[in-house]
Amino acid sequence: MFFVELTALAIVSLALLSIFWSTITLGISPMPTSRKVKQEVLTLIPGDLDGEVQELGAGWGTLAWAVASRFPRARVIGWERSPFPFLFCRLRLLIQPRENLTIRFGDFHRADLKHAHLVLTYLWTGAMLRLGPKFDAELPDGALVISHTFAWRGRDPELTHTTADLYRTPVYRYRITRP
């Protein structure tokens, strides 16, 4: 019995250490999108969405599962670099399988966005600043970027919703338009 408890304690400690380390090195914790903000994000996604969706930083899969479930014709790819949330998502895929959902381990800066119809982000200001040029260079004409809490600086959103929560969380929708 003592051995079982010791193993459980070791696993929990490792998980916490891993999350702590990833939070420090990546600059953000795997804080999930709240239920109210998730609903607001879903209302900003066109009902006929059927292409590739890239979620940059999937965390525990809160948005990835919601989008894959609501839009079965979309192909959702979630990127996650923090090992424990990534493993959690892979396990979740076994328990709550979604044929149109893939979770990849790795740095989302390596994601190829050339075929994305929609990019989802819940990151931080610095990450959005770094991603802006990548969005400009890779996303096709008409693609959407939906980001909550943190805006894509220097770009006007085509829509902004304010969530009816304590923080009045903003959800921004940007559209790529090429001349």
Ligand X SMILES: C[S@@+](CC[C@H](N)C(=O)[O-])C[C@H]1O[C@@H](n2cnc3c(N)ncnc32)[C@H](O)[C@@H]1O
| Separation of alpha carbons 158 and 175, rounded Å | 7
State which of residues 44, 53, 67, 82 lies at the interface with ligand X (CB under 6 A).
Answer: 82
Q: How far is the CB of 176 from ligand X (least distance, A)?
A: 20
C-alpha 82/C-alpha 84 separation (Å) is 6
Sole binder of ligand X in the list 15, 18, 28, 155 (CB under 6 A): 28
Closest contact distance (angstroms) between CB of 105 and ligand X is 8
* Contact criterion met (CB below 8 Å) for 91 and 157: no
Helix, strand, coil percentages in the chain from 3-state DSSP, rounded to 5:
40, 20, 40
Name which of residues 91 to 130 contact ligand X (CB under 6 A): 107-109, 122-123
* Residue nearest ligand X, CB atom distance: 57
Identity (one letter) of the amino acid at 66? A
Residues found near ligand X in the complex (CB under 6 A): 22, 26, 28, 30-33, 55, 57-59, 62-63, 79-82, 85, 107-109, 122-123
